[in-house]
Structure formats: structure tokens, C-alpha cells
Amino acid sequence: MRIREATSEDWAQIWPFLRDIVRAGDTYTWDRDVTEGRARELWMSTPPARTVVAVDGDTVLGTAKLARNHMGPGSHIANASFMVSPDHGGRGVGRALGGYVLDLARADGYRAMQFNAVVETNTRAVALWQSLGFEIIATLPEGFEHPAKGFVGLHIMYRKL
Amino acid sequence: MRIREATSEDWAQIWPFLRDIVRAGDTYTWDRDVTEGRARELWMSTPPARTVVAVDGDTVLGTAKLARNHMGPGSHIANASFMVSPDHGGRGVGRALGGYVLDLARADGYRAMQFNAVVETNTRAVALWQSLGFEIIATLPEGFEHPAKGFVGLHIMYRKL
């Protein structure tokens, strides 16, 4: 597995699994019926934001986006988002992307990273971020409408860099 | 004082004080050198977001913006931002706008309101939101680079509706 900056050619492989993850609606606070055009706008970054992909040869396994979480006097706090293809789950793609993006954020001069919306029922993601040094600093009660479980909490997670 | 939906004609009165507040850089996580065009895009909402103004006759005293804080399965959480003209401070414009926007958010079906970035040294704002029922649910340590005080905390505030 190798991680590199995403190119516009990667989008054709990103969109099918990103679409499925967003449509499932149990982990992401995106509109479930997001169009491909809007999704591409949201995911494929322009500087200073960055989008990366984890690849195995020509196959995209997962992708991550690093961006500012606040503007102006808060722009030293990064945000990141991660999407791993369900076809390639269980082989550490999320963890590898997480470590890579933390390093990238440090190199870009960010001082901390904040996740705004980690669904509390997404326990694998919560555990992964905790193992990478993130803490749950707050939980929005009933912040997320889960398709099967109803209103569940939405964690805000944070770590210094 | 009356509060009503903002119209495009109001922008000419909003921009001078909004610009000064953003340029002072001690309360807002916006780029301090924001252009008028970008500021207008950020502030003058399109549905489902709303922008309102507090007016005294033809004079705009302050303005507020109500929008979704999250998308999709988190879109029942509102966000709001407030700007009061320094020329008209101390007469309860912020409090009146706050109460109005809370009612508006309830009427629009939001279930909670979240502020992402209340600068801890902006003690009047913190106290105002607390008196309107908001709690500090987390503080990003050194989350805001204050022009005089260096890195200070950035509160996340929240209340159910």
C-alpha cells in the first residue's frame, strides 16, 4: 500500500465507494443523495486543503482529505475526513491514512486536529482515532439521525499535533 | 428595534461594521482580510439558511445568520453567527437577535444549536450565550490566535431547542 496525493484521474475510483458510504448514511454528515458533481467539489481539494489516496498498484483502497477546520485566527486547527472502500476494509487502510494525514498536517504547520462529527455508533472509527491519540472532547446528544438506531450522539474529537 | 429578514439592500450597511469586526480579528474565525465579495457570499444566505437584521427605522444595528451546522443526518443541528455594529452596542441588540434566532431555529425544525468557535476572551459573548441557555461543551485549547493575547481557547457552545 502506498499513499500519495490524489489526482483528478483517481475520482472515477473514489466516487463509487464514497457514494455508497454517504448513501448508507450511518457514518457521514453529508446529504445522502449527494450528486457526483457536488461530492467531487466537497472531496477533491484545492490548496491549502489536500486530498490523498491509498493505492495498491492502480487500485484506490481509500482516501483522505485534510483541510482547515476554522478560518483566519483559527486556521492552525486542521480537519480531516476519511473514506475506505468496503472492498478493502480490514487491512489497515484507515490507520495508514490516519497516520499519514497527521504527519502531513504537522508538516503543513497545523497545531491541532479536530473532527467535528464522529458518529458514536461508528465504534471502529472512534477506537481507531483514540488509538491515534484523539480524545472525545464533547458529544452532541442526539446529534446524528442514524438510519437504524434513530438519534445517536455525535462526537467531537481532538488532538494536538 | 425591529428584526426582519435581510434584503440585498441591507448589505451596504452591514459590510462596514462586519468588515471592521472581522479585521479586528479578536472574535471571528474569518480571514481578517476577507474581500467584500467573499464576505457577502458568506453572510447573505440562500435557503435553508437565513440572514436577519435588527433595524431602527432605516438603520441596521446588527445582523445574524442561521444555517445548518452539519449536513445530511446531522442537519437538525443549527449554527448561528451574530454581528452587532459597534456604533449601536450596549442596547441589547445581540440579545434581541439571539432570542429571535433561537425562535426562528425552532420554527425551522432544528433540534439544537451549536456554536463552533466562541473566543474565550470574548467574555461578553460567552456570558450572553450562557444567559440564553447555551453551555460550553468543550474548549479547543489555544484554538484562536488573538492579536493581543496570543493563543487563547475557542469554546464550542450548545443548547437544545
Give backbone dihedrals phi and psi of B30, rounded to 5 degrees, phi first.
Answer: -115, 160
Min Cα distance B120 → chain A (Å) is 13
pLDDT score at B90: 87
Cβ neighbours of A142 in B, within 8 Å: 111-112
Of A29, A70, A138, the CB nearest to B72: A29
**Burial of residue B121, with CB atoms counted within 10 A of its CB: 0-12 exposed, 13-18 middle, 19 or more buried:** middle
pLDDT score at B133: 98
- The predicted-structure confidence for B14-71, as pLDDT tens digits, reads as follows 999 999 999 999 999 999 999 999 999 999 999 999 999 999 999 999 999 999 999 9
- The predicted-structure confidence for A42-79, as pLDDT tens digits, reads as follows 999 999 999 999 999 999 999 999 999 999 999 999 99
pLDDT score at B10: 98
* Three-state secondary-structure class, residue A141: strand
Q: Do B73 and A116 touch (CB under 8 A)?
A: no
Of B72, B141, B142, the CB nearest to A31: B72
A23: nearest CA partner in chain B? B72
Percent of chain B at pLDDT above 70? Answer: 100
Residue A100 reports pLDDT greater than 90: yes
Q: Which letter does DSSP use for residue B86 in this model?
A: G
pLDDT score at A90: 87
Q: Measuring CA to CA, which residue among B121, B113, B124, B123 is closest to residue B157?
A: B113
Min Cα distance A86 → chain B (Å) is 21
pLDDT score at B98: 98
Cβ neighbours of B147 in A, within 8 Å: 73
- The predicted-structure confidence for A140-158, as pLDDT tens digits, reads as follows 999 999 999 999 999 999 9
Residues of A with CB under 8 A from a CB of B: 22, 25-26, 28-32, 34, 70-77, 111-112, 114, 116-117, 137-147, 154, 156, 158, 160
Residues A80, A105 contacting (CB under 8 angstroms): yes
Output the average pLDDT for chain B. 97
Min Cα distance A160 → chain B (Å) is 9
Domain B2-160: give its CATH architecture.
3-Layer(aba) Sandwich (3.40)
Cβ neighbours of A147 in B, within 8 Å: 73
- The predicted-structure confidence for B69-92, as pLDDT tens digits, reads as follows 999 999 999 999 999 999 998 899
Of A25, A116, A158, the CB nearest to B72: A25
Cβ neighbours of A22 in B, within 8 Å: 72
- The predicted-structure confidence for A111-144, as pLDDT tens digits, reads as follows 999 999 999 999 999 999 999 999 999 999 999 9
pLDDT score at B70: 96
Write out B19-81 in H/E/C secondary structure: HHHHHHCCCCCCCCCCCHHHHHHHHCCCCCCEEEEEEECCEEEEEEEEEECCCHHHCCEEEEE
Residue B108 reports pLDDT greater than 90: yes
ipTM: 0.94
Q: Do A140 and B158 touch (CB under 8 A)?
A: yes
